[in-house]
Amino acid sequence: MDHFPTSWGRPRNEAYDAFNTYPLHQRPNHSKDVFADGVQRTQQPIVTGTSVLALTYKDGIMMAADNLASYGSLARFKSIQRLHAVGNSTVLGASGDMSDYQYIQTLLDELVIDEFTANDKHDLGPAEIHEYLSRVLYSRRSKMNPLWNSLLVGGKKNGKRFLAYVDLLGTTYSASTIATGYGAHIAIPLLRKAIEGRENTLTEAEARSILTEAMRVLFYRDARSLDKFQIATVNDEGVSISETITLETAWGFAEGIRGYGAQTQ
């Protein structure tokens, strides 16, 4: 608090004296105005999850995400579930800030309960959940306080498959196979090659092996990834999220590379 009455209700410019209250007393010299920086909002994600992959196949959609939440480059939490069932026909996969993701989970759980208690024989499908999330994320970015996530929403309702993306800006798009984060660079070419044109013939087993292969490639190339991941499936039977799957990897080739691991010379 500035206790000098001549400082009250004035511009913060020391040199300007609009009220001509000359002679001025010595005004306290604030080196920094505490309000000058304004309110601080999320500037960067802190604890993060890496890529989420998803594809459509014959009976529905499938999604995969590993179990890691990183703190910067530190592999901080190694058994985090990044796939979340919303209602009976939708699954949500999140990359980006994990605390924002947990907040989104509580938002959605409240939404689903609200719809459930209405008891009107209607429930939210993947399209509605995706639309809701896109409105939430866009409104938050417009408040300059984004929820720092890239989300995939997938599901199947009334025989219709749905798969779409929404990110921290509220940007949305839909495709037969989508990936977030590093996966958008590394896995998308693999997934598109395997899926496009075959959405209606691909079996569950094939879809699963395609996703596993893409997750393996990502584990080799993405330094923020983990070899433990889960697969979520949505088909006519509803949502099921698998137990943690551990990737089998071979690092024998590394032995011959100089500057990689323990070298004797």
Partner 1 sequence: MISLQAHTLLMVESSRQGLLSLEIENSGTAIGLRVKDGIVLAVEKLIHSKLLIPEANRRIQSVDKHIGMATAGYQADGRILANRARDEALSYRSSNRAPPPLQDVVMRLSLYVQAYTLYSSVRPFGCSTIIGSLDSSGPALYIVEPSGIAYGYHGAAVGKGRQLAKTELEKLKLSELSTREAVIEAARIIYLVHDDNKEKEFELEMSWIGDETDGIHLPVPKDLLEEAEQKAKDALENFE
With beta carbons less than 8 A apart as the criterion, state whether 45 and 220 touch.
no
In the complex, the smallest distance separating the C-beta of residue 239 from partner 1, rounded to whole angstroms, is 14
d(C-alpha 243, C-alpha 125), whole Å? 24
In the complex, the smallest distance separating the C-beta of residue 105 from partner 1, rounded to whole angstroms, is 10
Q: Whose CA is closest to 126, among 235, 3, 199?
A: 235
Binding to partner 1 (CB under 8 A): which residues in 111-140? 113-114, 116-117, 119
Nearest residue (CB) to partner 1, 47 versus 191: 47
158 binds partner 1 (CB under 8 A): no
How many residues line the site for partner 1 (CB under 8 A)?
A: 8
H-run or E-run covering 52: strand 52-57
Active site residue 172: no
In the complex, the smallest distance separating the C-beta of residue 118 from partner 1, rounded to whole angstroms, is 8
Q: What is the CA radius of gyration of the chain?
A: 25
As given in the structure block, the two tokens for residue 81 are 């579930």
Nearest residue (CB) to partner 1, 203 versus 240: 240
Q: Which of the following is catalytic: 21, 42, 177, 264? A: 42
Q: Whose CA is closest to 156, among 240, 64, 251?
A: 240
User: Which residues have a Cβ under 8 Å from the Cβ of 228 and sit 6 or more positions away?
Assistant: 66, 67, 68, 78, 79, 244, 245, 246, 247
Nearest residue (CB) to partner 1, 118 versus 223: 118
Q: Is the peptide bond before 23 cis (omega within 30 degrees of 0)?
A: yes
> Per-residue x/- mask for partner 1, residues 85 to 114, rule CB under 8 A?
---------------------x--xx--xx
* Binding positions for partner 1, rule: CB under 8 A: 106, 109-110, 113-114, 116-117, 119
Active site residues: 42
